[in-house]
Amino acid sequence: MRQLNFLFILLAFSIKSLYTQNFNDALLLSEPGINTGVRALSMGNSFTSLSNDFSGVLFNPAGIGLIKSAELSLGMGFNSFGNTTTFFNNETNANKGSVNFNQFGLIFPLPTIQGSWVFGIGYNLVKDFNRTMEFDGFNPGNNSMIQNLTGDYNEQVPITNDLGLAYEIRNPSTNEYIRDTTLIDGLLNQSGKIKREGNINKWSFASSIEIAKGFFTGATFNILSGNYKSDRDYWEDDTRNIYDSNVELVPGDRTTRDFQTFYLNDVIDWKLSGWDALIGVLYNWKDKYRLGASVKFPSYFNVKEDYLVDASSSFGTGSEYSLNPPINDPIEYEIKTPFEYTLGASANIKMLTVSGDIKITDYTQMEFTEGFDFEYRNARKKEIEDLFTTTINYYAGAEMKIPALPVFARAGFMYLNSPYMDDPTNFDKKYLTIGTGILFEDAFTIEFAYVYGWWSDYGDNYGADVSRTFQDIQVNNLFLNLTTRF
C-alpha cells in the first residue's frame, strides 16, 4: 500500500525526546532530480555513454575525457509545477513556478603525449523542490484534525484544549486526570494549501583519464548545499452549522458556543549540506559506438531543521483563541541516500545519435545515520525496508544533425518507477523531452530544452484514508544553456 506524502506533524509540542522525522524526509533527499545540462535533458537524460560536455560530471565523469578543447558553460531554467487535486469529489487547481540559475561549469583538457587527461569544475542545481497543492471539500465522515489532535498527551501541550475545542475529563472523586475529549465529531469542511520551495546544489570536481585507446575512467567529488521549506495551511470550518449556539465545546464556557473555524499552520525549514561521489568508465569505439557505466555513492546530507507551528480557533460568540507556541530549538541530523548504478549505450550512425540508459536504485538503503538515538534510527530503518523497493528507471533519447545547417534536433523520454512497494503505474513519473542546439563557428553553442512530466500522487491530512487528497500532477520545464570553447 502506498504511504502518505502530506502528513501534518502532530507532535509539534511534544517533549524533546520525541521526533517527527520519518521516511518521507529520507525520500525527499534520495529521489534524484531531473535537472542536468540542456543537451542531456533534451535526450531524456540518456547520457551515461556520451557525457561529452560539462553535464558529464553528473552522469559519467569518464565521458569528459572525450572533450578536446576547453569549455565554459552557463545555464538557467524555469520550472512550472501544476496539479489538479480531488478532495471528496471536489477539484482544485494550483500552480507554482520558479526560475533558477542552474549551471556554471569549466572543462579544461591538459596536454598529453597520448590519450587524454581532462578536468572539470563547476556548479549544478540538481533538484528543484518547487511544489504546491490546494484542496477544499466537505468531509462527511465522523473524523477531523481536531479529533486527531485531541487525546491523552501526558507531558505534551494539548493544542485543542488551548483553543477551546476540547476539555479534560477527570475522575469526579479524586480529580485525577483521565483524558482529553472533544464534542467535535466530524462533518466539517476541510481545506488547505501546501507550498514547497528550495533546491539541492552540487559543486563538482571531476577528472577523466584515457588509460587505453578508447577506454576512459573518471571520478567526480561533489560538495552538496541547499535548502528546503514547506509551508502548510489547514482549515476546518463548520459550514453547515452542525455545532451551533446550542453546542458548548467546553462545558461551562459560553465563549465556546457556535464553533466556526479551526486553523493550523506548520513550517519546516531545512538548511542542507553534505557530500557524495561518482565514478565511471566509458569505452568509445571509433566514435560510432559507446558503452558507459557509473556508480554514484550515497549522498550524506546534514540537515539543520527549524520547525514552527501555530493554530487558532474562532466562534460565533466573537471569541477567538490562539496559541502561544514555544520556541523550538533547531535540531540537526544526517540522512544517507542509496547507491545508484547506471548502464548506458549509444550509437552514432551518420547524422543520427541514439542512446539509452537504465538506472538501478535500492531505496531500502535510505537511512538516518546521525542525530537520533539508536532505537529511533532502527525503527525508521525497519519502516523504510517495509515500504520501499528497488527501482529500475529507463532513459532514451536521440540527436539528429540537420543537413547543411549547424543545428541539432533532440528528443527523449524518461520513465521513473515509484520507489514505494506495489505502487500502481500511474504513480510512476513520466517525462517527454525535446530540444535543439545551434553551433556558431565551432566556438559557441546555444541550446534549449523543454520537459513535460506527469504522474499521480496522494496524501492524507491525518489518519489513513479518512481525509485523503488525490493529485494529477503536470510539470513544465524550460532550460537554456550557453557554451563557449576556447
Task: Measure the N-to-C terminal CA separation of the chain; round to a whole number of Å.
Answer: 55
157 band by pLDDT with thresholds 50, 70 and 90: low
Asked whether the beta carbons of 243 and 258 are under 8 A apart, the reply is yes
6 occurs within a structural domain: no
Asked whether the beta carbons of 204 and 222 are under 8 A apart, the reply is yes
| Mean pLDDT of the region 124-134 | 95
Report the CATH number that the domain containing residue 143 is assigned in CATH: 2.40.160.60
Q: Count how many domains the chain has.
A: 1
125 occurs within a structural domain: yes
DSSP for 370-390, written as a single string = ESS-HHHHHHHHHHHHHHB-E
Angle at which helix 23-30 crosses helix 374-387, to 10 degrees, equals: 70
CA distance to 65, 204, 284, per residue, from 207 (Å): 8, 10, 17
Report which of 62, 43, 40 is spatially closest to residue 291, judged by C-alpha positions: 62
Instruction: Using DSSP, state whether 275 is helix, strand or coil.
Output: strand
For 232-272, what is each residue's pLDDT tens digit? 999 999 999 999 999 999 999 999 999 999 999 999 999 99
On the question of pLDDT at 29 being above 90, the answer is: yes
On the question of pLDDT at 35 being above 50, the answer is: yes
Share of the chain above pLDDT 70, in %: 94
Asked whether the beta carbons of 57 and 204 are under 8 A apart, the reply is yes
Dist. CA 51–CA 290, nearest whole Å: 11
Least confident segment among 147-151, 201-205, 473-477: 147-151
Give the model's pLDDT for residue 177.
Answer: 86
Cell (9 digits) for 349: 550512425
355 occurs within a structural domain: yes
DSSP for 53-65, written as a single string = STTHHHH-GGGGG
- Where does residue 141 rank: exposed (0-12), middle (13-18), buried (19+ CB within 10 A)? middle
Give the chain's mean pLDDT. 92
The CA angle 403-406-409, to the nearest 5 degrees, is: 70
295 band by pLDDT with thresholds 50, 70 and 90: very high
392 occurs within a structural domain: yes
Give the model's pLDDT for residue 443.
Answer: 87
On the question of pLDDT at 12 being above 50, the answer is: no
Dist. CA 447–CA 462, nearest whole Å: 45
For 166-196, what is each residue's pLDDT tens digit? 999 999 889 898 889 999 999 999 999 999 9
Residue count of the chain, please give it: 486
Give the model's pLDDT for residue 114.
Answer: 83
| pTM for the predicted model, two decimal places | 0.92
12 occurs within a structural domain: no
The residues, ordered by sequence, that sit 6+ positions from 404 with a Cβ below 8 Å of its Cβ are none
- Where does residue 148 rank: exposed (0-12), middle (13-18), buried (19+ CB within 10 A)? middle
DSSP for 252-270, written as a single string = T-GGGBSEEEEEEEEEEEE
Report which of 163, 57, 177 is spatially closest to residue 107, judged by C-alpha positions: 57
Dist. CA 408–CA 429, nearest whole Å: 27
Dist. CA 292–CA 343, nearest whole Å: 6
Note down the domain range covering 91: 23-485
On the question of pLDDT at 444 being above 90, the answer is: yes
Given the C-alpha cell 535510505, which residue does it identify? 366
Dist. CA 69–CA 253, nearest whole Å: 79
3 occurs within a structural domain: no
Instruction: Using DSSP, state whether 287 is helix, strand or coil.
Output: coil
443 occurs within a structural domain: yes
Asked whether the beta carbons of 290 and 283 are under 8 A apart, the reply is yes
Give the model's pLDDT for residue 152.
Answer: 53
For 378-431, what is each residue's pLDDT tens digit? 999 999 999 999 999 999 999 999 998 999 999 999 999 999 998 999 999 999
112 band by pLDDT with thresholds 50, 70 and 90: confident
φ, ψ dihedrals at 386, nearest 5° = -80, -30
18 occurs within a structural domain: no
φ, ψ dihedrals at 238, nearest 5° = -90, 75
In terms of phi and psi (left: phi > 0; alpha: psi -120 to 50; beta: otherwise), the region of 442 is left
Dist. CA 414–CA 36, nearest whole Å: 13
Share of the chain above pLDDT 90, in %: 84
Between 466 and 157, residue with greater pLDDT? 466
Least confident segment among 5-9, 36-40, 215-219, 342-346: 5-9
Dist. CA 54–CA 448, nearest whole Å: 16
Query: Strand (E) positions, 363-467?
Result: 367-370, 390-401, 407-416, 429-440, 444-460
Dist. CA 298–CA 16, nearest whole Å: 29
Between 326 and 265, residue with greater pLDDT? 265
Report which of 98, 66, 96, 69 is spatially closest to residue 83, judged by C-alpha positions: 96
| Mean pLDDT of the region 283-310 | 95
Give the model's pLDDT for residue 21.
Answer: 74
For 55-108, what is each residue's pLDDT tens digit? 999 999 999 999 999 999 999 999 999 999 999 999 999 999 999 999 999 999
Bridging pattern class, strands 352-362 and 340-349: antiparallel
